[in-house]
A = this chain, B = another copy of it.
């Protein structure tokens, strides 16, 4: 976490402002000109007031041949922070182009959590070589983090935190914070452990600054602590920090020993990543490495979509078969076909609405306030209600278009059945999947829509066939 560094840029004119040219682009272009002219002092001066994340983005857009050159201009401490912000592909380019001594120093000084994220992207051979060259302490920490499963607190956490003892005085503790401030990720949450590294309490730097210098830490700390385990899913870690407005949450191992902390800045990225996954599922795009989507090539783009699309085409195939097999009804009254898209479209939209609300409710855990049974019931009634509202417009129009009651009545009866069914399925299927331990987003809009199509067409043509038997084809 960086706190108070800054650029001279007010956000009104920066990339975050939406309009205008992104700041990193401007910096990159000036930087390229200066580097090509060999004006390295000018380049240093240019980068001096720029935030690390903006420098990283600027270096990322430079030609590959200039990236290492630009990177070498940075002061050592800043270089590490900039490196941690770089895209994995640029990180790899730099590893190839820097001298092995430079690489080692860089990797040795990275925070353990960022180092693990880098190692995840590197070829196994390179990782083994780098691990072997790390100092024993850093190697142990890195191997430990690499041992946790992806997307758990263990992978997300950093092992750089400040731990105090209950017998420290507030003044001693403050001195310790002062000494260790440079090397830890945050100094604002402080952890108190006993002789066997069990977490016994927590206090904030605010508490410490306010406390009487002579007070014992054991007396000013809070003994009741919210912690997560190394195996806790990253989404749960995010929810905990969000719910309690924490700056960091401690991570304990199975023996309840403090092994790391997860900070709020990492958690924001998790929340965004999980939201993107839900959205992609709603759009029938396979989840993956969302960060790189706009940098990936056409075949990756197509590959991430073709699986879902094929599943949906097969499902649509059932709809076609239902229609083909009921061809007799259609050939008697061709205009019935005109209302098929409207019926399945409306059913699909109602189903999508229900599944969207339920899937989001499961993600944000707000659904707990209503409960599963009442949610399904509410959605079913809402679906029927929406069906009735649509009837008022659609039935007279279908009646007129069909030049008689047959089409109007078929459309009306099946529309009501379809919307009720779609809303019920849209709510029940994600809840069922969640109960079974599967990802509810698999039952998102595209799947619900397509499943509704088959049922909708079947209900419609059955109803019409039955009505033709009673009313004739008028």
Which A residues have a C-beta under 8 Å from some C-beta of B?
1-12, 14-18, 22, 49, 51, 53, 174, 177-178, 181-182, 187-190, 202-207, 209-210, 221-229, 232, 236, 239-247, 252, 264-265, 267-269, 271-272, 275-276, 278-280, 282-285, 290-291, 293-295, 298, 301-302, 305-306, 308-310, 312-313, 316-317, 319-321, 323-324, 327, 330-331, 334-335, 337-342, 344-346, 348-350, 352-353, 355-357, 359-361, 364-370, 375, 378, 381-382, 385-386, 389-390, 393-394, 397, 401, 445-446, 449-450, 453, 457
Contacts and interface: CB of A to CB of B under 8 A. Distances in A.
Contact of A244 (B2, B267, B353): B2
A356 B279 CA distance: 7
A246 B221 CA distance: 26
B341 A457 contact: yes
Contacts of A360: 276, 279-280, 290
Stoichiometry, as copies per complex, reads 2
19 contacts: A9-B226, A12-B228, A15-B368, A18-B365, A178-B210, A242-B272, A264-B264, A282-B445, A283-B356, A283-B445, A293-B361, A309-B349, A309-B389, A313-B345, A317-B397, A319-B342, A323-B337, A327-B335, A340-B340
A28 to B, nearest CB: 12
Contacts of A309: 346, 349-350, 353, 386, 389-390
A450 B352 CA distance: 13
A240 B11 contact: yes
A7 B446 CA distance: 42
Contact of A226 (B11, B301, B365): B11
Contacts of A445: 282-283, 352, 445
Nearest to A295: B369
A356 B281 CA distance: 9
A9 B205 CA distance: 23
A175 B455 CA distance: 71
A243 B174 CA distance: 30
A320 B357 CA distance: 29
A298 B374 CA distance: 11
A298 B353 contact: no
A7 B226 contact: yes
B209 A284 contact: no
A355 B283 contact: yes
A338 B313 contact: no
B209 A357 contact: no
Nearest to A356: B283
B401 A324 contact: yes
Contacts of A389: 302, 306, 309-310
Contacts of A310: 389-390, 393
B189 A4 contact: yes
A370 B295 contact: yes
Given A226-B9, A360-B280, A401-B324, A313 B291 contact: no
A312 B349 contact: yes
A154 to B, nearest CB: 14
Given A271-B271, A275-B275, A18 B236 contact: yes
A157 B369 CA distance: 29
A232 B11 contact: yes
Contact of A243 (B16, B276, B366): B16
Given A210-B181, A284-B353, A335-B324, A341 B453 contact: yes
Nearest to A221: B4
A209 B205 contact: yes
Given A1-B245, A4-B202, A312-B345, 14 more contacts: A3-B206, A3-B247, A4-B190, A11-B232, A16-B243, A53-B245, A174-B209, A264-B268, A282-B356, A283-B445, A293-B366, A294-B361, A316-B346, A348-B449
Contacts of A203: 4
Contact of A205 (B205, B305, B313): B205
Contacts of A337: 323, 327, 330, 334, 337, 340
A282 B284 contact: no
Contacts of A364: 272, 276
A279 B276 contact: no
A344 B244 CA distance: 46
A265 B245 contact: yes
Contacts of A393: 310, 313
Contacts of A240: 11, 14, 16
Contact of A3 (B1, B204, B386): B204
